Amino acid sequence: MPYKEKEITKLYYSIGEVAKMFDVSTSLIRFWESEFDILKPKKNKKGDRFFTKKDVDNLHLIFHLVKERGYTLKGAQKKLKENKDDTVNHFEVVQQLKKIRGFLEDVRSGL
């Protein structure tokens, strides 16, 4: 049986790492933190922000609503407050479809 390397997941991500994940500026992440109640990064005594996996998942939702679906900030806030579960389910479906599309494009390029 081949050796499978265990995937390492971090407990906390710095604001720079999070900004790089979404290809946005750190100031936009700080702005979204002030606008959305669901973002609660931990801060040390120096004031550095550390985002958990849950915070990153919430940022994925916010990014999806604001940047990909074109919601305004107020609209995204309202959508997340009213029916977050529906938004999460829609986001997960979109992510799965993107994976399937990537796989199919790889298959097509291999033909």
Question: 3-state DSSP: the chain helix, strand, coil percent, rounded to 5?
Answer: 65, 5, 30
Residue 23 — very low, low, confident or very high, per pLDDT cuts 50/70/90? very high
Residues near 11 by Cβ (< 8 Å), separated by ≥ 6?
Answer: 52, 53
- Asked whether the beta carbons of 63 and 54 are under 8 A apart, the reply is no
Tens of pLDDT, residues 27-68 = 999 999 999 988 999 999 998 999 999 999 899 999 988 988
The domain 13-110: what is its CATH number?
1.10.1660.10
In the chain, where the domains are located: 13-110
Asked whether the predicted pLDDT for residue 25 surpasses 90, the reply is yes
Question: How far is Cα 40 from Cα 43, in angstroms, rounded to an integer?
Answer: 9
One-letter amino acid at 51 equals F
Element (H, E) at 56: helix 53-63
- Asked whether the beta carbons of 18 and 59 are under 8 A apart, the reply is yes
Asked whether the predicted pLDDT for residue 4 surpasses 70, the reply is no
Residue 26 — very low, low, confident or very high, per pLDDT cuts 50/70/90? very high
